Amino acid sequence: MSDFEIMDAAEAHLPGITTIFNHAVRETFSIWSETETTVDLRRTWLSARNGAGFPVIVAVDPERPKDVLGYGSFGVFRDFPGYVKTVEHSVYVAPSAQRRGVGRAILNQLVSRARGKGLLAMVGGIDSANVGSIALHEQAGFEVQGRLKGVGQKFGKALDLVFMVKAL
């Protein structure tokens, strides 16, 4: 039996989602921003995602269901009609929950939900130095289909973006 459960995100999960997001902003190159978020801004994001028919899911400890171990979502890849069957996703895991299968479970659930919506492809934009995320995506059947050199920056460092795609 797993030590976590995957479920749709709710209001009670917003503080945990915010904590994970802000850790990624402060400590990693996973989110190319140096600006932290708030629970109110995450509430608006959750409402917008749900309103557009896109999932936001969380992994939680079944004994403490408000404790978010990780979260993921997908949404619009590009805002043109030709991309309507393609989504871009993201997965974030709390540092204390890494290497426990949380990211894999969230990613697999996102893939399943995308297939259920009749989508054709999922895209992940990953910092090229994030070897853990790249490996996770490769294990889930994603392929590297592009590398954009020097297109981002954070903490004064130029960053490369790797696009990984999974045909559904």
CA dihedral 62, 64, 69, 71 (to 10 degrees): 80
Q: How far apart are the first and last CA of the chain?
A: 28
* Topology (CATH) of 5-167: Aminopeptidase (3.40.630)
pLDDT in tens, 116-168: 999 999 999 999 999 999 999 999 999 999 999 999 999 999 999 999 999 99
Task: Evaluate whether 3 touches 99 at the Cβ level (below 8 Å).
Answer: no
Determine the pLDDT at residue 66: 85
Determine the pLDDT at residue 105: 98
- Once rounded to an integer, what is the mean pLDDT over residues 11-28? 97
Structure tokens at 67: 């404790």
Structure tokens at 73: 């979502």
Task: Evaluate whether 70 touches 106 at the Cβ level (below 8 Å).
Answer: yes
Rounded distance, CA 146 to CA 17, Å? Answer: 29
Rounded distance, CA 33 to CA 22, Å? Answer: 10
Determine the pLDDT at residue 1: 43
Q: What is the 3-state secondary structure (H, E, C) of the chain?
A: CCCCEEEECCHHHHHHHHHHHHHHHHHCCCCCCCCCCCHHHHHHHHHHHHHCCCCEEEEEECCEEEEEEEEEEEEECCCCHHHCCEEEEEEEECHHHCCCCHHHHHHHHHHHHHHHCCCCEEEEEEECCCHHHHHHHHHCCCEEEEEEEEEEEECCEEEEEEEEEEEC
What is the reported pTM? 0.95
Domain boundaries, the chain: 5-167
CA dihedral 113, 114, 117, 121 (to 10 degrees): -170
pLDDT in tens, 50-102: 999 999 999 999 988 889 999 999 999 999 999 999 999 999 999 999 999 99
Determine the pLDDT at residue 65: 80
